[in-house]
A and B are shown apart, each in its own frame.
Chain A
Amino acid sequence: QVQLVESGGGVVQPGRSLRLSCAASGFTFSDYALHWVRQAPGKGLEWVAFISYDGTNKYYADSVKGRFTISRDNSKNTLFLQMNSLRAEDTAVYFCARGFGSGSYVHDYWGQGTLVTVSS
């Protein structure tokens, strides 16, 4: 069965960096695009970033562009999110999700998320 397991969350000071990982299993990782989506406390879902199956295409939300970088290692079935210059408003649970359908913009499987808290 498809599994996505996020890790790397924690408490970090404003301006510092953090790297999230998402370990995938149960499907051919290199065939699928992937996304990061976040949910701030008490708020709704917000799409963060997309990476194509081979890593050549990457798209970002304006709120993270220039600070976050999405990448993947198809040899290790792992997705990453490098988060730099973190701000209080980046505090959220971060989910990875598999892309499916037209443009691979449908999220058909999700992980349970990892919590990032940005606070001094």
Chain B
Amino acid sequence: DIQMTQSPSSLSASVGDRVTITCRTSQSISSHLTWHQHKPGKAPKLLIYATSSLQSGVPSRFSGSGSGTDFTLTISSLQPEDFATYYCQQSYSTPLTFGGGTKVEIK
């Protein structure tokens, strides 16, 4: 199974801050990396697929980069609606696996 190591597990930030979340995989997954946003009681939301492709309707302040085993999600200017938990996920092979999540909280 492909192991996903996501960091940090939580962070505190202010509106307008630049936020970076990293995800490392235990083996190369090429560009098959996805990022989701999840708020309590809501359906998770796809943000980015194939490492850097922005899902339709997702604001351009979200961006993704990386390849192989190291990947990054960046929020260029944090907005109030961005406070949530973010998960990376490899879409390379089954069993599909997720990172442990990063909870983004208000400072």
Please list the residues of chain A having a beta carbon within 8 angstroms of any beta carbon in chain B.
4, 35, 37, 44-47, 50, 59, 61-62, 95, 97, 100-103, 105-113
Contact = CB atoms under 8 A, between A and B. Distances in A.
A7 to B, nearest CB: 14
Interface residues of B, number: 26
B45 A59 contact: no
Contacts of A62: 95
A101 B101 contact: no
B41 interface: yes
- Residue from A47, A105, A110 whose CB has the most chain B CB atoms within 10 Å: A105
A107 B95 contact: no
A59 B94 contact: yes
B49 A106 contact: yes
Contact of A108 (B41, B46, B87, B97): B46
B95 A45 contact: no
Nearest to B43: A110
A95 B49 contact: no
B91 A61 contact: no
A59 B99 CA distance: 20
Contact of B87 (A45, A61, A112): A45
A108 B97 CA distance: 16
A112 B40 CA distance: 10
Interface in B42-68: 42-46, 49-50, 55
B96 interface: yes
A47 B46 contact: no
Interface string B62-103: 000000000000000000000000010101111111111100
Contacts of A50: 94, 96
Top 6 nearest A-B pairs (CB, nearest first) are A105-B91, A47-B96, A110-B43, A45-B98, A59-B94, A44-B101
Contacts of A112: 41-43
